[in-house]
Copies of this chain bind each other. A is one copy, B any other.
């Protein structure tokens, strides 16, 4: 290679023009942003964020940036952290399937908080967002799966690069300072998988956003760092992974876009049970099913489904996310798989419990990860069968724009109220044309901690 990996990446990010973004990439940026904003608003009153705010808001600087879905305003570094936490707290954000990176969180959290500090046009925001996602997913591609297998939470470890690159772009850093920003990002990786199951998991994308923003701000001032942070002998890729392929970072820059293989979850739970939920909802809607008419439900699923989500008697909403039995039952009864279907209420609903007890599951090694068979025996003796070849939300069958709308409204309506949520949603779709990206953040604030009038009750879920 004639030039360094870090240098090649820094040059690309420093020079890639918004005007050169292909239309499908711009469109996908809006879709990813709609999905991310909905998740951040939806998670904004989770206990995890309450505690993070209680601990750290006392140290916030001048409050220029919004915490989406809340009334607090913070300095951009703290706002980036908080929005990154809330956008991941339901595990409902986007997924780059090849690396299991959740790319939007670190990048959008940093960018939106920064856009309330210094003006950033919607088009520049979209360009920086696309570049940030590109940087983190390419770096992830280069070290996956070894880096993830050893125990790094790849969203946090690569996310810091994504945030640094995105902020570096809107700051207009030249190639050298951009490489310093990447160096300062490399030296601040975030996230061990050991933290999964605790609040610290959601901390990772937030802290990655904050670290990346810090890195770019320091580099802007001339704070020096390595210019070979990715590929040096003691650089990031060698220290944090036992294998690496730099071609995934440097080949085809500006020609292909990782954002085009980003996916969105239609259901608020682990992706392995999505095919099952999808099949149940389709059968329910096609046949107008009710609980009384269902004698039994048989699932045939990928082996990981029972390994990861085989809980037979879930007691809490969180445990419900690890129960394919609950997921199937609630999907058949309520025709959905959103946060409300994985609440304590839903898991302990007598009707759901009664149906759950009639659900059985078997694994089949011949079934793909995004595939499932759902067989329902009806009281009238009929047997219904549904083969889900590719679950909704998979690359082969992406969520529609209307599906993203519905997901957003499910998440944001209880927090903001329907009217305000609709306004925010429209701004998100329009992000590339906005005069200022900050408009989205401002529109997604609550006026008071108690909520905007009639939404108050919803804030104490």
Given contact pairs A200-B225, A226-B200, A183 touches B207 in the complex (Cβ within 8 A): no
A254 CB–B CB distance under 8 Å: no
Question: Is the beta-carbon distance between B187 and A200 smaller than 8 angstroms?
Answer: yes
* Interface residues in A, total, Cβ within 8 A: 57
Tell me the residues in window 198-247 of chain A with beta carbons closer than 8 Å to chain B beta carbons: 198-200, 203-204, 207, 214, 217-218, 220-226, 228-229, 232-236, 238-239
A381 CB–B CB distance under 8 Å: no
Question: Is the beta-carbon distance between B224 and A194 smaller than 8 angstroms?
Answer: no
CA A188 – CA B211 in complex, angstroms?
10
A75 CB–B CB distance under 8 Å: yes
A152 CB–B CB distance under 8 Å: yes
Question: Is the beta-carbon distance between B239 and A151 smaller than 8 angstroms?
Answer: yes
Given contact pairs A75-B61, A217-B56, A195 touches B152 in the complex (Cβ within 8 A): no
Question: Is the beta-carbon distance between B217 and A188 smaller than 8 angstroms?
Answer: no
CA A221 – CA B48 in complex, angstroms?
10
Question: Which secondary structure characterizes the binding site on chain A?
Answer: helix
CA A126 – CA B226 in complex, angstroms?
36
Given contact pairs A229-B192, A239-B152, A200 touches B224 in the complex (Cβ within 8 A): yes
Residues in B whose Cβ lies below 8 Å from that of A153: 187
A84 CB–B CB distance under 8 Å: no
Residues in B whose Cβ lies below 8 Å from that of A151: 233-235, 238-239
Interface of A with B (CB < 8 Å)?
48, 51-52, 54-56, 58-62, 75-77, 150-153, 156, 180, 183-184, 186-195, 198-200, 203-204, 207, 214, 217-218, 220-226, 228-229, 232-236, 238-239
Can you add 15 more A-B contacts, CB < 8 Å, to A59-B62, A150-B234, A151-B238?
A55-B221, A58-B61, A58-B62, A60-B61, A151-B234, A184-B203, A186-B194, A187-B200, A194-B233, A194-B235, A194-B239, A195-B225, A198-B224, A199-B223, A199-B225
